[in-house]
Chain A
Amino acid sequence: MSSSSASLPTFVASCFIHQGKLVVNGNVVFSSKAPVESFFTELYILSGANYPKFYKMDAQSQLAFLCAEFLLKDNTVKDTSPFDWSVVLSCANSSNDTDIKYWENARQAPSPAAFVYTLPNVMLGEICIRHGFKGENSCFIFNTFDTAFQVNYVNSLLEKRAKVCVHGWVNFFKEEYAAFLFLTVNNGETEGELHSPELINKTISNYAGID
C-alpha cells in the first residue's frame, strides 16, 4: 500500500465525441450535422494530424484515434517515458460493426485490411502507435460504462505500473457512436482533481448537460 506521502492519481483532461459534437474539457470545440463518415473526416482535418493511415482505419478506430488526438493535443505530460503511458478502454459492441461488414464482403472477396480491425483492442493499438505509447493497455466489454470498475482499474495501474493513463469509452455500431476519453496522471507533479468515480460521473453528467 502506498505511504501517506505518495502521490495520488490526478484527473487532467476530458474529450467527448458524440452526436456530431466535439467537447474538450467541457467546451464545445466543433459541431456538425454531417453524416458520421463525413463528420469523422471533418474532425480529422480539424485535428491537423498528418496521418494518412486514418483513412484506412475502421470507424471505431477512427473514433478512438480522433478522441485521443483532441484529448492529448494541448495536454502533454512532461518527461514521461513511453513505457509509463497506459491505455484502458471499454465498449459495448466490441468490433461487431466491422465484423458484420467484413463478413458481408468476405463472401465475394475477403479484405485483409478489413480483417485486421475485427478485434476491439485494435483501436488501442492505433492510439499507441500514433502516440508511441508502450505501456500496458487493456480493453473491456461492458453493456454500459462502468465508472467504478474503470476508476478502480486505472488507479491501481497508476499506483504501480504506469504514470499516465488515457482511458474511457469508445463505441461504434451501425452509425451510432459515443466516445469519451480521460487523461489521468500520477507523477507527483501534475495538478488537478483527485481521480474518483464521483469526479468521472460528474464530468459525464456535465457533458450530458451541454447543448
Chain B
Amino acid sequence: MQELINTLKQQIVEQLNLKHIKPEEIGDDQPLFVDGLGLDSIDALELIVLLQQKYGIKLANPEEGPKVFHTVRALAEFITANQKK
C-alpha cells in the first residue's frame, strides 16, 4: 500500500503540474482539495484521467469522487480494491 501511495504522490505532482510541491511533502492523509492541497475542479478531472490512464479504472459513479479523491490514501485504497476485481 505504501509503495502505491508514494507512486500516486509522484503521479499527482506530475499530472497536475504541482511544481511548487515535492511528492514527499504531500501527507498520506492530507485532504487533496480546498483547505488541504488546494486542488480545484479541473484537477479533479485530471485525477479521473490519471485513474483511467495509469490504472485502467473508470470512476463509474461521479458521486464517489469526493470520497475517492479525499486523500492519497483513500485513492490508493480505491485503486487496490478495484484492481483486485
Q: Is the pair B42, A55 in contact by a Cβ cutoff of 8 Å?
A: no
What class of interface size applies to chain B in its complex with A?
10 to 19
Within 8 Å by CB of B49, from A52, A55, A111, lies A111
Q: How far is the CA of A111 from the CA of B49 in the complex (A)?
A: 7
CB-CB under 8 A for A52 and B18, given A109-B52, A111-B49 = yes
Count of chain A residues with a beta carbon within 8 Å of a chain B beta carbon = 9
- Complex: chain A residue closest to B20, CB-CB: A52
Main secondary structure on chain A at its contact with chain B?
A: helix
Residues of chain A within 8 A (CB-CB) of B43 are 113
Within 8 Å by CB of A55, from B20, B46, B53, lies B20
Q: Is A35 an interface residue (CB 8 A)?
A: no
Q: Is B59 an interface residue (CB 8 A)?
A: no
Q: Is A112 an interface residue (CB 8 A)?
A: yes
Q: How far is the CA of A110 from the CA of B46 in the complex (A)?
A: 9
Q: Is the pair B17, A113 in contact by a Cβ cutoff of 8 Å?
A: yes
Q: Is A100 an interface residue (CB 8 A)?
A: no
Residues of chain A within 8 A (CB-CB) of B53 are 109
Residues of chain A within 8 A (CB-CB) of B21 are 52
Q: Is B62 an interface residue (CB 8 A)?
A: no
Residue positions of A touching B, CB distance < 8 A: 52, 55-56, 109-113, 116
28 chain-A/chain-B pairs, Cβ below 8 angstroms: A52-B18, A52-B20, A52-B21, A52-B38, A55-B17, A55-B18, A55-B19, A55-B20, A56-B16, A56-B17, A56-B42, A109-B49, A109-B52, A109-B53, A110-B49, A111-B46, A111-B49, A112-B42, A112-B45, A112-B46, A112-B49, A113-B16, A113-B17, A113-B42, A113-B43, A113-B45, A113-B46, A116-B42
